[in-house]
Structure 1
Amino acid sequence: MNQEQNSNVKIIAREVLSSNWYTLRKITYEYLKKDGHWQTQSREAYDRGNGAAILLYNVSFKTVILTRQFRMPTFINGNRNGMMIEACAGLLDKDNPEDCIKRETEEETGYKISAVKKIMEVYMSPGSVTEMLHFFIAEYSHAMKVTEGGGIAHEQEEIEVLELPMEEALQMIDTGKIKDAKTIMLLQYVRLKNIL
């Protein structure tokens, strides 16, 4: 979708605060308020690149493939064991979204998929993170399982692959066992569209 540049915003300065893992910048800008006055504001924006996420589903068995892994930010914010159940996802790493999600699916889950359907693009935390996430769904079968999955060792990934009945996955949202936004959105999309 083509959008016009917002003429009510003038960026004054960009300062890199950290570039250890990804990049945290302080952006200072002028913003034209509705009353006609320009106001100087500053915000921090965390740039980790864009990503893609996918929900694999099996119509015959009414199951979905999810993953479980340790997530440090959740551990320091109330998730006592730090483990999160999530849909497969990853950063684009200069790939197009479709190639990225096919690669991530094989690395994380062990399923080699060829056909994916893109369903939406979403800013997951627009107040502080620049990332746009590309959402996909795809059918899977057990014949597509080519490896055990589990992620890439040199990326320090240790991912457990879960095959769950769709109904159980939906109940896990209600019980709080699934608290990941992208996963909830994908599960609800599949349910709302009567795919499973």
Structure 2
Amino acid sequence: MKNSIVDVRIVVDGWMKVFLADVKSATGQLFTRHIEHHGDAVAVLPYDDERRVALVISQFRTPVEHVSPGADNIIEPIAGVNDDGDAEACARREAMEEAGVRLGTLEKVANCWSMLAVSTERLVLYLAPYRAADRVASGGGLAHENEDIDVNEMSLATLADHVRTASTVDMKLLALVQALQIRRPDLFTPKPA
């Protein structure tokens, strides 16, 4: 016998939902766990292998400010909630909204649980090659969502150094930069003359 959910009740119903689940252990003990649900998500790291740069964003994050007042905005990959169930379409839409970049090929890295102890969110991670000509808009996010996103084109060497040395780093960015380093180590060495 293994643990099983006996009952689930909703305690918050808004942009996200929070449930309380009563769980029965294999030994018959009852206990309660929280479940947070806001849907699945995607994250994408566009990179230009000719210029050896990547597009990253930063924006004010209320939870970060709450626990680290005055902290700088953390560098992140482009990301968003996958409302319609099509992860690739969501990645392309978010890339245009947040960074003004049109993406073609998407290289799937992983489909992973972001915080499996508390959240139902599954996160699909992508790498995406792009060229300077694919930057067709300014990005910055959607005004009605108050995103106010800063878009930065950062050298891959600087980005890898940031991931390696920063005291705090976004988990999605860490995974995507490391995946790119594994798949394309040539992009992180000096460019041949």
Q: TM exceeds 0.5?
A: yes
What does residue 34 of structure 2 align with? 44
Cα pair 1:49 1:92 within 8 Å, conserved: yes
The alpha-carbon deviation at position 184 of structure 1 amounts to 0.7
Match of 2:16 among 13, 22, 39: 22
2:145 is equivalent to residue 155 of structure 1: yes
Question: Does 2:74 match 1:80?
Answer: no
CA distance in 1, matches of 2:162, 2:72: 16
Q: Structure 2 CA distance, aligned partners of 1:82 and 1:194?
A: 30
Whether 1:58 and 2:52 are equivalent positions in the alignment is: no
SS in structure 2 at match of 1:187: helix
Question: CA–CA distance in 2 between the matches of 1:29 and 1:178?
Answer: 34
Counterpart contact for 1:172–1:178, Cα < 8 Å = no
| Corresponding residue for residue 4 of structure 1 | none
Where do residues 6-155 of structure 1 align in structure 2 (5 Å cutoff)? 8-32=2-26, 37-78=27-68, 80-81=70-71, 83-155=73-145
Deviation track 1:142-195 (CA, whole Å, cap 9, x = no partner) reads 111111000111111110111000111111123327610000110011012225
The amino acid that maps onto 1:125 is M
Structure 1 residue matching 2:19: 3-state secondary structure: strand
SS in 1 for 2:74: strand
Q: Which amino acid in structure 2 is aligned with residue 51 of structure 1?
A: A
* Cα drift, residue 117 of structure 1: 1.4
Question: Partner of 2:70: helix, strand, or coil?
Answer: coil
- CA gap of 1:78–1:185, structure 2 versus 1, over 3 A, is same
Deviates more, 1:130-139 or 1:78-87: 78-87
2:173 to 179, 183, 193: 183
Contact (CA 8 Å) 2:65, 2:71: kept in 1 or not? yes
- Count of matched residue positions in the alignment of Structure 1 and Structure 2: 186
In the alignment, residue 172 of structure 2 is paired with which amino acid? K
Q: CA deviation at 1:82?
A: 5.4
User: Greater share of strand residues, 1 or 2?
Assistant: 1
Q: TM-score, normalised by structure 2?
A: 0.91
Please identify runs of 4+ aligned residues in structure 1 that moved more than 3 A.
none
User: Using the alignment, how far apart are the partners of 1:135 and 1:88 within structure 2?
Assistant: 10
Residue identity opposite 1:70 in structure 2: F
- Which sections of structure 2, spanning at least 5 residues, go unmatched? 188-193
**After superposition, what is the alpha-carbon deviation per residue over 1:6-37, rounded to whole angstroms, capped at 9, x for unaligned?**
x62332111211123210111112121xxxx2
- Separation in 2 of the partners of 1:59 and 1:51? 26
Gaps of 5+ in 1: 1-6
* Alpha-carbon distance in structure 2 between the residues aligned to 1:23 and 1:41: 20
Partner of 2:190: none
